[in-house]
């Protein structure tokens, strides 16, 4: 399996890059004779607007990305993500309506089959940090105890009309998560969810070819309480170690070219400095990397000598994906 993490601040075209990567990989797999290559999108971010034209829906039956918003899907978000990590996906089933005898309703349910169809070529997971936020909020909303109670917990009320047309008060728990809640979400995302996604298998026994994940950027702290930069999950502790979980880590970064004054977005695949954060001997570094055999890596230097890919309206990170695909690395 190829695993890629793209991270950057809001406005660095992360969702657009997912779209372009899916389009290019679909073309490449079609060239290998795969019939109708498909992808699955999982997110809880600001939506998949830039991908609307390729997302499968009743309005777009020719779409080739099955999309699911964890924050809007019914059910506990931990259950939703665990079902996805098992390889299950949504089916719409007809079942009896519990409120109206002899009536049927259509509702979503998870498939029994945990093996992926052979034409599923990749999972696109958007927003490690926003997915983590949804999970942390679930701990707060459900008043869940994990090692310790919520911090500064309280209950707020709303006046609601009940079935007897009476005004009643409905309570909601609010509060701040404790350290153990943050730790549990961090462990779940990086040492439970990601390994399960990496181990997904298709019906023919082959592994899922691509797992492409996005995240925002953040400043964190290492084991010695020194500041580090990197992709965000939740809290500061995992910022520096998250890139280790992926084969490739790409940083999407807005710059102004000092020679031309032109604004552009660059996709760095090598560590690069943050000029606004000086440290002794230089500047703090944004982590980025690609994992290629040495004889293949030489081709990167000649093609992108600045260790970054310029992002335009027409092209971007899919060039690196295509490079890896063609080199078989």
Residue 54 is classified by DSSP as G
Contact 217, 230 (CB under 8 A): yes
pTM over 0.85: yes
How many of the other CB atoms lie within 10 Å of CB of 83? 18
Other C-beta atoms lying within 10 Å of the C-beta of residue 79: 12
In the chain, the number of structural domains is 1
Q: How far apart are CA 197 and CA 215, in angstroms?
A: 16
Residue 254's domain comprises 2-327
Please report, in tens digits, the pLDDT of each residue of the chain (329 residues total): 999 999 999 999 999 999 999 999 999 999 999 999 999 999 987 778 999 999 999 899 999 999 999 988 877 899 999 999 999 998 877 777 777 777 777 777 888 999 999 999 999 999 999 999 999 988 888 888 887 776 667 788 888 888 888 888 888 777 777 788 888 998 999 999 999 999 999 999 999 999 999 999 988 876 666 788 999 888 777 787 899 999 999 999 999 877 888 899 999 999 999 988 888 788 999 999 999 888 888 888 889 999 999 999 889 999 999 998 887 75
Distance separating alpha carbons of residues 266 and 317, to the nearest angstrom: 9
């Amino acid at each position: 399996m190829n695993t890629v993490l793209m991270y950057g601040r809001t406005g660095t075209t992360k969702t657009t890059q997912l779209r372009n990567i899916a389009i290019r990989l679909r073309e490449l797999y079609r060239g290998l004779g795969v019939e109708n290559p498909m992808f699955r999108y999982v997110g809880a971010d600001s939506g998949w607007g830039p991908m609307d034209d390729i997302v499968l829906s009743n309005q777009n039956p020719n779409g080739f990305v099955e999309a699911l918003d964890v924050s809007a899907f019914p059910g506990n978000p931990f259950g939703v993500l665990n079902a996805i990590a098992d390889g299950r996906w949504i089916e719409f089933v007809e079942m009896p309506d519990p409120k109206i005898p002899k009536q049927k309703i259509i509702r979503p349910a998870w498939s029994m089959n945990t093996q992926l169809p052979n034409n599923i070529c990749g999972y696109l997971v958007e927003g490690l940090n926003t997915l983590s936020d949804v999970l942390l909020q679930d701990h707060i909303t459900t008043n869940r105890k994990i090692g310790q109670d919520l911090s500064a917990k309280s209950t707020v009320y709303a006046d609601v009309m009940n079935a007897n047309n009476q005004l009643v008060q409905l309570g909601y728990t609010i509060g701040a998560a404790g350290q153990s809640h943050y730790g549990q979400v961090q462990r779940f995302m990086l040492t439970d969810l990601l390994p399960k996604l990496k181990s997904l298998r298709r019906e023919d026994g082959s592994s899922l070819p691509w797992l492409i994940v996005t995240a925002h950027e953040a400043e964190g702290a290492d084991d010695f309480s020194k500041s580090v930069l990197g992709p965000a999950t939740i809290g500061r502790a995992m910022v520096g170690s998250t890139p280790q979980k992926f084969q490739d880590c790409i940083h999407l970064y807005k710059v102004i070219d000092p020679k031309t004054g032109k604004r552009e977005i660059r996709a760095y695949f090598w560590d690069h400095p943050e000029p606004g954060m000086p440290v002794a001997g230089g500047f703090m570094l944004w982590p980025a990397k690609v994992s290629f055999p040495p004889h293949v890596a030489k081709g990167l230097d000649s093609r992108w000598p600045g260790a970054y890919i310029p992002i335009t309206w027409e092209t971007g990170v899919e060039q690196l994906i295509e490079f890896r695909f063609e080199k078989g690395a």
